[in-house]
Chain A
């Protein structure tokens, strides 16, 4: 899939390139443990200025989704699924993303998903999500 990649500013390296180890990482307030996304130099909950890092499970839920049918730019392969995934660790920790490895018409709100990374140029690891594998 053709994609327009983000400019990766210094404070965003953790999110856009951190997936190299197969995991999702975010800045986290050292004082109240609030996970801050997108990155900011302050915790919006306690206004603490000391931010560390945390690694999350990469698991979450499809909060909502849409199947895009319109080829907005040349070479766009449609249809595909855009979703907002709410991560398990924190109520308001959400990502806009794509749901992959499942036909678009099978995606549902409330579906449990886990992160899978698409490796792009310049070591950018895009966090996409796929249905959770059922464990035995």
Chain B
């Protein structure tokens, strides 16, 4: 099997300021992250010959994707062999997968990939669907029933998992509690005060079984990574982080309510594909950064990526020891989306790089981690990667 992604590596990664209502433009934040990522790789702006982003500029929902590829190209006057800002892809890492394709096709050597959100500054214009006159397109079979938020749609999967496997709120709570513990060690995290199981259990319901602490927090912030051809990565500032394997498969219905197994999501297929493209096994993973826009999505990734048997996720995370910073599978070491903010997968990708480069500071995973699993997306979106620092 040709595994083209092994010819690529992440060579630089950076994040802008991340916070609530920063009052800065999306482009301002994007430029901050992108220039820092280019410098982090030891490159200059003129070395960038590809540009990739997901989902590209979007007017709606407010702050969801305020900057597209052309706008950044203009701001930095990039000379590009290839660029793409596309929304129809297997999840938030679609931009990375596209970059890998462009590099292995020989279009580019160094592709700048970014994701920016200004959802906090745009708050008030709440991020729910169907506030127009009429709804059309992919959400039209959900919105008329007042299933307006991804919290509702994800809750349906969570409830099915609870029903099929006996998963409990006490168990699911550990995703949020673990994130909060790690966030205490991350100066850039949004919520850093400890979260107790009692506080979680008593918090208000949003859409059962998901409560307030199962839902992430919108922020303003940009993240950028440089994906390079391995031949162009050797002499740069940092040890390249090879993209060992990618999972981007999607084999069932493209729908929030017609997926064949309602106790999981499209991420199932992506996870399966990733392990088919590597000799590494789940036990080889030293740190996991798995999408937790809603806590249940993270639990689903844990199971489908094989860190525990399907259906055992609740019992796997119970008590929180296994997923703690000093546990067998340190999880969402920056606090995740739940406590460090909705950087939409890219914050977790950045954190994986930070950990593999040994720069996690107070939250650095011990034992010199060499393999990271990163995953983004829920519902019909799902994409994942293995990154490795070993040569």
Contact = CB atoms under 8 A, between A and B. Distances in A.
Nearest to A64: B160
B204 to A, nearest CB: 7
A40 B204 CA distance: 41
Nearest to A2: B146
A66 B126 CA distance: 21
A80 interface: yes
A82 B143 contact: no
B7 interface: no
A69 B149 CA distance: 12
Chain A: interface secondary structure?
Answer: strand
Contact of A96 (B151, B163, B204, B256): B256
Interface string A67-111: 111101100100010111000000010111110000000000100
A24 to B, nearest CB: 13
Contact of A7 (B134, B152, B158, B256): B134
18 contacts: A4-B131, A4-B135, A4-B143, A7-B136, A64-B156, A66-B152, A66-B208, A67-B205, A68-B206, A69-B205, A69-B208, A72-B148, A73-B131, A84-B156, A96-B141, A97-B145, A109-B163, A126-B144
A96 B154 CA distance: 13
Contact of A5 (B144, B152, B262): B144
Contacts of B160: 63-64, 109
A134 interface: no
5 closest pairs, A vs B, by CB?
A: A66-B155, A4-B130, A7-B136, A64-B160, A67-B208
A68 B152 contact: yes
A82 B163 CA distance: 16
A12 to B, nearest CB: 8
A69 B203 CA distance: 12
Interface string B148-184: 1101100111111001000000000000000000000
A92 B262 CA distance: 11
Contacts of A38: 141
B257 A69 contact: no
A64 B146 contact: no
A1 B146 contact: yes
Contact of A126 (B142, B145, B155, B205): B145
A4 B206 CA distance: 20
Contacts of A80: 146
B391 interface: no
Nearest to A77: B146
A109 B126 CA distance: 30
B45 interface: no
Contacts of B126: 72-73
Interface in B184-228: 204-210
A72 B205 contact: no
Contacts of A73: 126, 128, 131, 148
Given A82-B147, A96-B145, A64 B131 contact: no
B158 to A, nearest CB: 8
B140 interface: yes
B159 A7 contact: no
B260 interface: yes
Interface in A46-64: 63-64
A70 B141 contact: no
Contacts of B141: 6, 38, 95-96
B146 A96 contact: no
A67 B155 CA distance: 9
A117 interface: no
Contacts of B205: 67, 69
Which of B145, B157, B207, B262 has the largest count of A CB atoms less than 10 A from its CB? B145
B143 A70 contact: no
A13 B240 CA distance: 55
Contacts of B163: 64, 109
Given A5-B135, A7-B134, A67 B207 contact: yes
B207 A6 contact: no
B253 A6 contact: no
A6 B146 contact: no
Interface in A7-43: 7, 9, 38
Contacts of A92: 253, 258, 260
B259 to A, nearest CB: 9
Given A94-B258, A96-B145, 6 more contacts: A66-B209, A67-B208, A69-B208, A84-B262, A98-B145, A109-B159
Given A7-B136, A70-B151, A92-B258, A64 B207 contact: no
B159 A4 contact: no
